Amino acid sequence: MQLAFVLAVVGFGTKVGLFPVHTWLPDAHSEAPTPVSAMLSGSLLAVSFYAVLRYYQIAAATLGTGFPRGVLLVFGTLSLLLAALYLVEQRNLKRLLAYSSVEHMGILAIGVSFGAPIAFAGVLLHVLAHAAAKGNAFFGAGVLVRAYRTKDLARIGGGFDRLPWTAPLFLLAILALSALPPFGLFRSEFMIVAGGLRSSHFAPAAAMVALVTLAFLGLSMATTRMLFVPQKDGPGAASAPRGEPSAWMVVPMVVGVIALLVLGLHPPDALTALIARGAAELGGAL
């Protein structure tokens, strides 16, 4: 059972994007068309992580909770560490968002390893909020890539001057991915950290907060350069006309921001009840 669970985590963790089987994810997400990138981050990763949760339930019921939680803690912490380091030095816009997905999948694995009911609820909410935020961010990145005709972060600048709608919406998506209030990821990560403290996992919870902060620095530095720093003129600079390429490319981002605010401020009662049921089922293996 121990071997079966480790192999299941490695197998489905490949699709989730957990270290060290994450290597396909940045390549695929950075080269895929924008709608496919959003689908990969929002749907594929979530469905694959659902399979990991099912195997966790079987392993916990058979072996007890110690072994499966320890495995997920190791995979999650290493994934979060790798993603945070890559985010600080990333130079490709879509790969930046792809490594952010690795970061958040690591957070999910760490959240399950804490084992507290509030952490389980935070994990399930985090899956939904990450799907909304990452889809929103990829849509914004798609507009930036189309406008500037490049994914090179060094060649993109002055976004607020050239894209009056996309730039602020993309900024909101990055702030949501960084777990700032009042967005859904703030609520979910707060619940996960609270679960870690409640279950006396003080060191892993502190390490998670530190690595998430490092990842935030990487995302914020790249976003600041793209949106606020005026574009440098020269032979290597990418020129972008002022104005949105298409109004229809802005609509999905507006919908995504609304979803993030709803998940952060007041999730629907039916969704809250569903998450509570899911957390109870996961906690039933305690």
Bridge partner list, 152: 92
Give residue 110's pLDDT: 96
* Residues 233-260 as b or e (16 or more Cβ within 10 Å = b): eeeebbebeeebbeeebbebbeebbebb
Could you tell me the end-to-end alpha-carbon distance of the chain, in angstroms, rounded to an integer? 17
> How many whole angstroms separate alpha carbon 102 and alpha carbon 98?
7
Nearest to 96 by CA among 105, 85, 106, 86: 86
- The residues, any chain, with a CB within 8 Å of residue 157's CB and separated by 6 or more, are 225, 226, 229, 230, 231, 232, 237
Give residue 285's pLDDT: 46
DSSP letter string over the chain?
A: -HHHHHHHHHHHHHHHT-TTS-THHHHHHHHS-HHHHHHIIIIIHHHHHHHHHHHHHHHHHHH-SHHHHHHHHHHHHHHHHHHHHHHHT--BHHHHHHHHHHHHHHHHHHHHHH--HHHHHHHHHHHHHHHHHHHHHHHHHHHHHHHHS--BGGG---HHHH-TTHHHHHHHHHHHHTT-TTSHHHHHHHHHHHHHHHTT-HHHHHHHHHHHHHHHHHHHHHHHHHHTSPPPPSTTPPP--SS-S-GGGTHHHHHHHHHHHHHHH---HHHHHHHHHHHHHHHTT-
Q: Kindly give the confidence (pLDDT) of every residue in the chain, 286 residues in length, as a single tens digit, with 9 standing for 90 and above.
A: 999 999 999 999 999 989 888 889 888 887 888 888 888 888 899 999 999 999 999 999 999 989 999 999 999 999 999 999 999 888 888 999 999 999 999 999 999 999 899 999 999 999 999 999 998 999 999 889 888 888 888 888 888 888 888 889 999 999 999 999 899 899 999 999 999 999 989 999 999 999 999 999 999 999 998 888 876 655 555 566 677 777 788 888 899 899 999 998 999 999 999 999 999 998 854 3
What backbone phi and psi angles, to 5 degrees, belong to 18? -80, 145
Give residue 31's pLDDT: 85
Give residue 286's pLDDT: 39
How many residues would you count in the chain? 286
